Structure 1
Amino acid sequence: MADVVQWLNEIQDLKRQLQKAQQAEASAHASADNWRKRYEIEAHQRRAEAESAVQPLVAAQPATSPLPPETSAKPTSDGIVDALRSDIEQKIEHLDTVAALKATLIEIWAERDRLADDFKTEQLSHAQTRKDLSMALGDAVEMLAKLNPQD
């Protein structure tokens, strides 16, 4: 009779442990889903920001020098750079004075500096996102390891 009681107690104990493990697993899955949603939102925002940064450059293209056919549907950085270079060359050819050339050069440098700052900001934001996601992944792996300590 004592053995039966002991077995029943062990069964109850194992049921509690199983229930805790299932709760921890559900929590880990919920956390992973939460981080996945955050990542998707962040990625969507980054794509939207990148697209909105490209739109003024595409819109500034003169009608006489459209983007190459392979980039007209979805501009790439090489196509945009080539088109901008062509646009700049056309503007420079029509400048008659040194003062006009200087003013154009100042505008171009200011735009270059702004774009470089935007790029650095984007790189820092990307690094932070990668760090956050790595930490979330580590947390999820840690939770899963706690669920399966024998592995």
Structure 2
Amino acid sequence: MSQDLTTQWLTEIQSLKQQMIAIGRDRDAAWESAEKWRKLYNTEAEQRRTDTQLSQQAIASLKAELQKVQGLDTQALPDATAVTAIQQEIEQLQSVEELKTKLVTAIKERDRLLQALKTEQDNHAQTRDNLTTALGDAIDGWTRERVALEHDTQPTL
């Protein structure tokens, strides 16, 4: 009976050793899995930080470009409230897409104004040419009239 009890205990000890080995393997596998997830999380977090930084740089660059396109030169603008209003409008933009949309709108408005200015300049040049021609015609007519009057009023010899 003592032999059976010893065998039973040895079997139980062997079974517990096997369970401990299996638990150790499970623990190691869980640790490796946790380590893998930690690395993935850190990689993802670093990528997000990099993306955020790049987005902030892009926003700052686009804001600067928008100010340049809008001609936002604080020395050129006499009204300080206009500068403040423009800066507040720019600060309200929340994303790169909003900024891009605003920039496209500003560029379209600039192009429209440049086209209107060119049209006005062309019209001005045409008016100047028309007035110069009319003035030349008037001077020519006046000169002919004067010559004719001088011819008519000269005594015949």
TM-score (norm 1): 0.46
TM-score (norm 2): 0.44
